[in-house]
Amino acid sequence: MKEDNCDTQPKQKTVLKDAIYKFLRQFYNESDSEKITDEFMKDFYRSVSSLSLDDLERLATSYLQDEKTN
């Protein structure tokens, strides 16, 4: 089976990947949860890698503003 790995996708386990997997395990078996999580992460990394620096700055600014209000 050929793997379709995106070059920007880290090999290590991430907090996001772990959280998605744990959530999906409530509804799907282990194998399906892993497949869905892997596909989500591929799409996520593709989407993030296509963001411009301005987009990333807006995200960071929004996150920091949310942190200040909490």
The contacts of residue 42 (CB under 8 Å, 6+ apart) are 4, 5, 6, 9
pTM, rounded to two decimals: 0.66
Q: Is residue 4 part of a domain?
A: no
Could you count the other beta carbons within 10 Å of the beta carbon of residue 37?
21
In this structure, is residue 8 part of a structural domain? no
Condensed to tens digits (0 to 9), the pLDDT of residues 11-42 reads 567 999 999 999 999 999 999 999 999 999 99
CB atoms within 10 A of CB 56: 11
Q: Tell me whether residue 6 is in a domain.
A: no
Give the range of the structural domain holding residue 37, as residue numbers without chain letter.
15-69
Report the domain count for the chain.
Answer: 1
In a domain, 7, yes or no: no
Average pLDDT for residues 48-69, to the nearest whole number? 93
Q: What is the DSSP string of the chain?
A: ------TT--SS--HHHHHHHHHHTTTS-HHHHHHHHHHHHHHHHHHHHT--HHHHHHHHHHHHHHHHH-
